[in-house]
Amino acid sequence: MKPLLTSKHNSISKRYINLFRTSNKLKYNNNQFDPKDIPSLNRFSSYTKQAKENNFKHILKIIAFGCTFMAGTFFGLPLLKDYIPKDPNVVIYSIVGLNLAVFGLWHIKPNNFSFQKKLTESFLLQKNFHILKLRQMILSGFSHREFWHLGCNMLCLISFSGPLIATIGSVGYLSLYFNALMMSSMFSVLYPNILKALFKRVSSTSFNPSLGASGALFGVFGVFSYLYPNAHLSLFFIPLPLGAWQIFIGSVGFNVMGVVMRVGALDFLAHLGGSVVGIFYGLYFKHIIDKKRQARAGRTTSLFDIFK
């Protein structure tokens, strides 16, 4: 069982972001940059550009988009259950394949300005409403630029998803995955902008752009740990002494501490957003499982059990 849940999102260096702004300092021909002008992704640097105007209109737009997406996913996917593969491996490795494909796109033309700019406009989650696009809230969850980040996240995905799909089904799993991804993006975008709208001042590091799948994975881990609270996990083949649910609660505490203390450059808010969805789905699926057990014992079950 793969234990490590790596950070959902990476921070982008200010220098990397400035590649996509007009600058007299950058010399290039035919959309080509000197490689030294395109540094690799730096998780531990800050991006300080912030919006200055009132953001409440944009905040409401993000909330409306996120809630519409999650409601559509929750109620819409069960209607498509006849078209969704039931084989866990097909579901799991389809998601892995999407992440690998986006990872490859980042590295096909690393020195091409226009190509990298297009990727940034879709696969990097911006917190500044001036440059945020709604599609980034979904596509950034399939985006990685560092191989170790991709590897850790996909290893976690493969480790937890198999037994979970066997329990809740492919439809329930995809509903969980996409909604945890969306909630993680909403937490990551809304928190700094709400603070800025209310108090006019907020730490610049809260506006770091981000990317990665770990917000969705915290949702997956949350449901797994709720349904299998005593499951034993290991950290790179080293057994951990605590059960899965205890480790999950510890991870929530760690992410809360990260938000409060503003430590490091991890997107703790994205982790918390995914964790919230994980707890909700854990409660929901536990209810469904109990209802099915009652039905097998001769009792009736609710018609609202849409994931059965």
**Domain annotation covers residue 305:** no
Confidence of residue 13 (pLDDT cuts 50, 70, 90): very low
pLDDT in tens, 15-24: 343 443 433 4
Instruction: Work out whether the CA dihedral 132, 135, 138, 142 comes out positive or negative.
Output: negative
**Domain annotation covers residue 148:** yes
**Domain annotation covers residue 91:** yes
276 token code pair: 């919230």
148 token code pair: 């170790």
What is the 8-class DSSP label of residue 125? B
Summarize the confidence of residues 97-118 as an average pLDDT.
93
Summarize the confidence of residues 7-12 as an average pLDDT.
45
**Domain annotation covers residue 1:** no
pLDDT in tens, 41-60: 433 333 334 444 557 888 99
Q: Residue 299: is its pLDDT beyond 60? A: no
Q: Where do we find the tokens 């950290």?
A: 235
Cβ contacts of residue 147 below 8 Å, gap of 6+?
103
State the residue range of the domain holding 138.
14-296
Hey, which residues are catalytic here?
Answer: 214, 271
Closest CA to 181 of 153, 213, 136: 213
**Domain annotation covers residue 9:** no
Spacing of C-alpha 277 from chain mean position = 11
Beta strands in the chain (DSSP E): 28-29, 32-33, 232-235, 238-243
Closest CA to 277 of 17, 21, 70, 123: 70
**Domain annotation covers residue 36:** yes
Tell me, what CATH number does 22's domain have? 1.20.1540.10
**Domain annotation covers residue 46:** yes
Segment holding 149, helix H or strand E: helix 147-199
**Domain annotation covers residue 308:** no
Tally the domains of the chain.
1
